[in-house]
Amino acid sequence: MKRASLLTLILFGSLSALNSAWAVDYPLPPAGSRLIGQNQTYIVQEGDNNLQAIARRFNTAAHLILETNNTIAPVYPAPGTVITIPSQMLLPDTPREGIVVNLAELRLYYYPPGENSVQVYPLGIGQLGLETPVSTTRISQKIPNPTWTPTAGIRARSLAQGIKLPPVVPAGPNNPLGRFALRLGIGNGEYLIHGTSAPDSVGLRVSSGCMRMNAPDIKALFAQTRVGTRVQIINEPVKFSVEPDGKRYVEVHRPLAMVEGENPQTVSIAQSSAFTSFVSQGGSDKLLVNKALSRRAGIPVVVSTGAGQAVNSTGLSAQNTRLPVAASQGGQEQAIQ
């Protein structure tokens, strides 16, 4: 699988005809910094099938694009619509080791050992009531060409939707687990990071607790990781940082709904003691912090005292870039795993 830096992705993506996703490698920031990447702008083109297809070209999730662009059509934005691609972010406040999943932002971060870089992938996670658990664990097994044995609960839920699942689904391109799976050492081994036969489900809460990746992404991750690789799963909708230049950033995502019908745009967000301290410090503009908490744009915004309206970083233009489509468009979800 080809991997490219963000700048390479922008400059040379239009030259590639490969039908694969792009795992974006970001150089790790300097000591004391957590800010990586730079946002991009893109103009929707004739022939862009839907927002999920656009998201796959930039190796992000439609959900994240909608957070940043909350006035665009959620499925079929009109040609000519200018959208911001959220490709700048703050690294999670975790050890920079192995795999880090932040459920709230539907992203997986992988820190290759011995390299000064981080890879960022979009992710599908557990649905309401079948949440992916917050935990720190390890990869316990690597499974190429996995078969899928749906549990009794999954079979019952699928049957209620009019879908009768077989006891075992053999390995192959139509397997809901895709071509590669990484088993985690939590629970009874039922939690996996795996591919999917439903690419439009990546970036959504639709699984029974497993984490789904685009086919080229899980292939790349599978090749690089080993049994014993550390995996940390967090659920933090608010990230914040004081950068070496003194700028203070807040990145706020819509929190995961905890009950049916809950509005993630308006539900209150629990604030940690560390974030409360960050807000109360002299360099933070509380008005800008409150605006960021209310807007929940999913990208870092400057909340330093005196920043005023200059809260968004400048984006790179990718409006004419035709990046390779990640995978076949796929159809509706046929089974929930």
pLDDT (tens, 9 = 90+) of the chain, 337 residues, equals: 334 333 333 333 332 323 334 558 999 999 999 999 999 999 999 999 899 999 999 999 999 999 999 999 999 999 999 999 999 999 999 999 999 999 999 999 999 999 999 999 999 999 999 999 999 999 999 999 998 777 777 778 888 888 888 777 788 878 889 999 999 999 989 999 999 988 999 999 989 899 999 999 999 999 999 999 999 999 999 999 999 999 999 999 999 999 998 999 999 999 999 999 999 999 999 999 999 999 999 999 999 998 765 444 444 655 434 333 333 333 333 333 4
Phi-psi map region of 178: left, alpha, beta (phi>0 left; psi -120 to 50 alpha): left
With H, G, I as helix, E, B as strand and everything else as coil, classify residue 58.
coil
CA angle 56, 202, 199 (to 5 degrees): 70
Pick the catalytic residue: 210, 211, 218, 250? 210
Phi, psi (degrees; rounded to nearest 5) at 63: -60, -40
Spatial distance between the Cα atoms of 234 and 103, rounded to a whole number of angstroms: 6
Clarify whether 210 is annotated catalytic: yes
Spatial distance between the Cα atoms of 3 and 12, rounded to a whole number of angstroms: 12
Under DSSP, the state recorded for 166 is -
Pick the catalytic residue: 63, 183, 194, 253? 194
Nearest Cα to Cα of residue 192 among 205, 208, 206:
208
Clarify whether 63 is annotated catalytic: no
CA 57 to chain centre: 14
Spatial distance between the Cα atoms of 21 and 2, rounded to a whole number of angstroms: 8
pTM for the whole structure: 0.85
